[in-house]
């Protein structure tokens, strides 16, 4: 896939300068893509996002590949679909090597959290938790505590 970065960059008040401490590639969750084609990404002010390519609505929920520039903006150069990342993890291509073996894998959204512990424990945290099934729900354990 070819991209003409010069033709698609938004006007900048400062020249692009990737310094040694900031010029690293990183992944950003794409939250929304307005008509301009420049995505809104998690944790970054939309005014600080520069796009080298147009993003479509189908990229919402994917990870944008970006570079943090010295002047503060994030230059986006493309995206990685979640299915490609999941496939890489499932095939052992990627591994969370930075994660300690005894720490849980956590999925957080607002005030809710799902934690999966390496020893087999699972913890669900939230203000209101609902469990629904179209069929049977079974609860089995050595000890079952209610309230």
Q: What is the pLDDT of residue 6?
A: 40
Q: How far is CA 47 from the centre of its chain?
A: 19
> Is pLDDT at 2 greater than 60 in this prediction?
no
Which is more confidently placed, 106 or 18? 106
- CATH 2.40.50 in the chain is located at 5-84
Model confidence, pTM? 0.48
Residue 114: is it exposed, middle or buried by C-beta count within 10 angstroms (0-12/13-18/19+)? Answer: middle
Distance in angstroms (rounded) separating the CA atoms of residues 77 and 60: 15
pLDDT per residue as tens digits for the range 76-119: 988 888 777 777 766 665 555 555 667 787 788 888 888 888 88
- The architecture that CATH gives domain 5-84 is Beta Barrel (2.40)
> Is pLDDT at 40 greater than 90 in this prediction?
yes
């354990």: which residue's tokens?
141
């Amino acid at each position: 896939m070819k991209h003409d970065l010069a033709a698609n960059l938004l006007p900048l008040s400062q020249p692009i300068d990737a310094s040694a401490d900031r010029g690293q590639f990183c992944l950003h969750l794409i939250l929304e893509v307005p008509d301009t084609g420049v995505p809104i990404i998690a944790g970054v002010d939309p005014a600080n996002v520069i796009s080298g390519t147009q993003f479509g609505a189908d990229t919402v929920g994917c990870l944008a590949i970006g570079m943090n520039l010295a002047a503060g903006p994030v230059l986006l150069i493309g995206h990685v679909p979640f299915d490609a990342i999941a496939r890489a993890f499932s095939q052992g291509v990627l591994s969370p090597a930075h994660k300690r073996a005894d720490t849980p894998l956590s999925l957080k959204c607002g005030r809710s959290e799902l934690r999966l512990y390496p020893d087999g424990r699972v913890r669900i945290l939230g203000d209101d938790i609902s469990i629904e099934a179209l069929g049977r729900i079974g609860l089995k354990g050595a000890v079952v505590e209610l309230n």
